[in-house]
Structure 1
Amino acid sequence: MTELIEQHFYSSYLPDSANEQIRQAIQLQFPQGSDFKLGTVEFERYRTIRKGLEAIQQNRLFNDSARFKTIYLGTDSRRGLYPFTLPPSSQPTEHPDAFVRINARINSLFLQVVPGDTSVAMQQLNALQSAISPADFQLCTAKISLRPSNRKRPFDWDIRTVSFSNIVFNPAQTKALLRYDMYCGGNCGFGEILLVEKVNGNWQIKQAEQLWIS
């Protein structure tokens, strides 16, 4: 969870003052109207610079619990997960379209964990993992709480909420797939599928591919 928060949640866990400093630094580096399209050189430069700026703010935040933001854990089956369908496996990784290449990489993740029939795995990856609680996580740059159950509407995602799927392991239980949806209010949200691998007894994210974004 810490790895997700610090590397995949787009600095949303940082205090507003830290994000404002990052915004100002980015404005100095890039002129107005810069092209940040996926796959461009300018996009890669922007991502590298932003990651460096976020790392500086992250180090300042480390274990300073008074400045931690809260991320809520979604376990309500009424909301569930964003529907996911495995893309066709015939798409080439060298295709000129970036989204086609992403689909090809998603298929490669499945081949590493589920080399045979994927139907059971897909059921698990579309099923909400509800038997988890904040006590299962130890964080050093954010707080985590259960999403309040007294919300007026079960589909009201105006607070930052992350939901996880069930986990799919390979036969040796050294690699696994899982996915998550992150909702951050209004039309703000995204989801990824993760390949995690057990390294020296610890599970680490080895690859992440975007499934959707709003």
Structure 2
Amino acid sequence: MRLVLYLLLFICAGCTPAATFRLCPNLHTDPTKRLYNDIVTELIEQRFYNVYLPEKDQKVFQKHYLEVDHLVANVADAEWHEWQSAHFQNKLFGDTSHFQTLYLNTSPANNSLDLAELPDQFTALSPQSAIVALINRLATNRSQAALDSLNRVQSRMRPSEFQLCTARLQPADTEQQRQAQGVGTLTLSRVVFSDDQEQAILSFSWHCGPRCGFGEVLLVEQVAGRWRIKQAIQTWIS
């Protein structure tokens, strides 16, 4: 029976309608806030382990991967996951009664919520690293200033300013509140724009428990008027 089911998965993978995530309106006119809003939406819906979904939807993913008998995800798994993720995102869209709460840290004094854990000095980065390549490409002749921005917590955009359609953001006040009520805490760096304002880099950290989280440096770019993640460089994971 399991073999038959797997054959059906492979056969139907090619005929499954394309899965698309609904776009939440982004009414910000400030370029930096537009970027933050688009990128945080993508992080929440596609990068943070499905934690924004109601528990019953998360269990569908857990059940699927408990039942498969291979260790590495195959093409059928990936296509099923993409379709199911978009299906759940569409179903949750605008349903505030089922939104999960995430916290946004905007305090530079909160050392427990570090960003990408990069060194303070640009010369301390490996010359061959992908991060150095990004900084040199987007911020020629201002490499140290760019690194300083990646190491600084942004406070320009508050949680109440985000226009989200599948989750809610609250201020990261105390660790006790976050553990009791939310599913994780996000910290964003300042943004480093390219000269033409079409690409940018920023860093972030995501903490979802005592030994759960990761940090990355992102290259983002404008696609059809919306900001999208083009490259993610992971710098730490717990």
Q: TM-score range by the shorter chain?
A: 0.7 to 0.9
Aligned pair partner of 2:59 in 11, 20, 26: 20
Alpha-carbon distance in structure 2 between the residues aligned to 1:58 and 1:126: 32
Alpha-carbon distance in structure 1 between the residues aligned to 2:152 and 2:186: 14
Bigger RCO (CA 8 Å, 6+ sep): 2
- How far apart are 1:198 and its partner, in Å? 2.7
Residues 134 and 49 from structure 1, CA distance in 2 versus in 1: closer, same or farther, beyond 3 angstroms?
same
Q: How does 1:35-114 map to 2 (within 5 A)?
A: 35-36=71-72, 42=73, 46-80=77-111, 81-82=114-115, 83-85=117-119, 87-90=125-128, 103-104=129-130, 106-114=131-139
CA contact (8 A) 2:103 2:178 kept: no
- How far apart are 1:71 and its partner, in Å? 0.8
Alpha-carbon distance in structure 2 between the residues aligned to 1:71 and 1:13: 8
2:160 counterpart of 1:135: yes
Which of these two proteins has the greater Rg computed from alpha carbons?
2
Residues 201 and 4 from structure 1, CA distance in 2 versus in 1: closer, same or farther, beyond 3 angstroms?
same
SS of the residue aligned with 2:163? coil
Pairwise CA RMSD: 2.5
| Letter paired with 1:88 | S
Aligned pair partner of 2:229 in 195, 205, 208: 205
Residues 115 and 48 from structure 1, CA distance in 2 versus in 1: closer, same or farther, beyond 3 angstroms?
farther
Runs in 1 of length 4+ with deviation above 4 angstroms? 43-48
2:196 counterpart of 1:165: no
| Letter paired with 1:140 | C
Alpha-carbon distance in structure 2 between the residues aligned to 1:186 and 1:165: 22
Q: TM-score, normalised by structure 2?
A: 0.70
Provide the identity percentage.
35
Say which structure is richer in helix: 2
Question: Alignment length, in residue pairs?
Answer: 189
- How far apart are 1:46 and its partner, in Å? 4.8
Residues 111 and 47 from structure 1, CA distance in 2 versus in 1: closer, same or farther, beyond 3 angstroms?
farther
